[in-house]
Structure 1
Amino acid sequence: MAGEGHRKPNPFAGGGLDRATHLRADPGWLSDRLSDPNSRVVPVWRERSLVSQTAREVAAKADGLAYRPVLLPPTVAASASEPPEEWIFLGLEGGRDGGRALFAADVPGGAGEGPSSDSPLDGAG
């Protein structure tokens, strides 16, 4: 447990995400963003987000809180044998002008310990 007055940082709580509410009801724009190689997907499996950290990040953070979200291209998630049924537009990272679109997608998997071996998460982190 983190020390009193200290919370574990949430890697998804950065302030640089424009929710872009004006674009959420535009299916053509959303479809184009899902085809854009610059867009990214936050894979979610059983209500859990995938995070990673490098050895350098571990060494730099003695408290072990140097996690960052794994962001995959939409084509990786869509190419799974069971592609996501729903894509959730989170917003634009980097602002409205030139920002890349971020989505969340549920990654199918059985009731076992992890996503299936043909899941887009297999080997991702």
Structure 2
Amino acid sequence: MSSKFYYDDITLDRAHQLRTDDEWLTANLTGESAGSNSHIIPVWRDKSLVFTDEQNAAAPQAAILRGEAAELIRQNAATLVFLGLEGDAIYYAADLSHLEDPHSL
């Protein structure tokens, strides 16, 4: 039986040096590069949004949103947390816990 730690394979650079750079964070969340580089992971009351196909043939996958869907979530999030970088991709978690029904978005 393997005792491999679950997070061993994560390639996300936590980029600690950028966490206090408000100018960089704002520019990459709302600026021109936000649409192409920013990825939003919605979270509601400690639960992740998960996508499945209609026939449940594929394994469920965590929602990682970009573009208009990401912008809608960003605008409605109570809190955004910078998670890190993976290549050119910038990852944020968006807390939607203040909403009674997150599906209303």
TM-score, normalised relative to structure 2? 0.72
The count of aligned residue pairs is 94
Question: For each residue in 1:55-88, what CA deviation from the matched residue of structure 2 results, as whole angstroms up to 9, or x when unmatched?
Answer: 68835xxxxxx23211123412134xxx212210
- Matched residues, percent identical? 35
The runs of at least 4 aligned residues of structure 1 exceeding 2 Å deviation read 53-59
Question: Could you tell me how far apart the structure 1 residues matched to 2:62 and 2:103 are?
Answer: 20
Structure number with bigger Rg: 1
SS in 2 for 1:44: strand
1:122 counterpart residue number: none
Which structure has greater helix proportion? 2
Which structure has greater strand proportion? 2
Gapped runs of 5+ residues in structure 2? none
Question: For each residue in 1:10-58, what CA deviation from the matched residue of structure 2 results, as whole angstroms up to 9, or x when unmatched?
Answer: 7x88522110111111001000111211201110011101122336883
Name the Cα RMSD after superposition: 2.8
Gapped runs of 5+ residues in structure 1? 60-65, 120-125
Instruction: Select which of 7, 11, 14 maps to 1:16.
Output: 11
Query: Would you say 1:101 and 2:87 are equivalent positions?
Result: no
Task: State whether residues 42 and 102 of structure 1, in contact with CA within 8 Å, keep that contact through their aligned partners in structure 2.
Answer: yes
Task: State whether residues 109 and 116 of structure 1, in contact with CA within 8 Å, keep that contact through their aligned partners in structure 2.
Answer: no
TM-score, normalised relative to structure 1? 0.62
